[in-house]
Amino acid sequence: MDNLLPFAFICLTSFFTLTNPLGTMPVFLSMTKGLDNAQRARIVKRATIVSFIILVSFTVCGQVLFSLFGISTNGFRIAAGFIIMKIGFDMLQAKYSHTKLKEEEVKVYANDISITPLSIPMLCGPGAIANGIMLMENASTWEMKATLMGSIALIYLLTYLILRASTRLVPILGETGNNVMMRLMGLILMVIAVECFVGGVKPILIDIIKMGNGLM
């Protein structure tokens, strides 16, 4: 129980910042300009469900992929640290991609944008996938694994609600408020990235030191 609450906090904060529904709101509104609320609701519902399925699949099957491609856990932690660091740095600079569609293309791509680019890579990008695999590796008990799955489900439920309310939230937050939120989340991500990187490098350095002592 002592380890469960900190683990749940890390799961929720890391996935919320990597999913970044607040930063996605302006992009989502620009992509769905000209659509009514019912059409936007269908796009958001489909995007969050697809994102959830993809993220859970990679999180659960991560170890199988490691074995298949001969990837070490420590090597993956280092790579994941770099990926999350890059995402966090961009968010710290309040950067997010603006995807624009021509007016005549909006209705044509209304069904497509729910998968790409809204679901992949915006709501379920490489950072979120790497984070899921890494957290599953850290989940040593069934309670922690269940907490991880529950956290993913909760984050995508919040993402659905936030994007559904985006037409009301964006004017309230404004550009300044959105930028402040993105910078705060970017800082959290960079801290997580450092912990991830150190967690991967430390065992490798220990092994190198042990090998060096063995040769002496």
Q: State the total domains in the chain.
A: 1
pLDDT for the residue 101: 46
Copy the structure tokens of residue 153. 């489900």
pLDDT for the residue 34: 77
Q: What is the pLDDT of residues 62-91, one digit of tens each?
A: 878 878 888 787 888 888 888 878 877 887
CA–CA gap between residue 119 and residue 137 (Å, rounded): 24
DSSP letters spanning 149-164: HHHHHHHHHHHHHHHH
Helix axes 142-164, 37-69, angle to 10 degrees: 150
CB 141 within 8 A of CB 77: no
Low-confidence ranges of the chain (pLDDT < 70): 1-2, 94-112, 178, 214-216
pLDDT for the residue 100: 45
Range of the domain at 59: 4-215
Helix axes 4-19, 126-138, angle to 10 degrees: 170
CA–CA gap between residue 147 and residue 136 (Å, rounded): 10
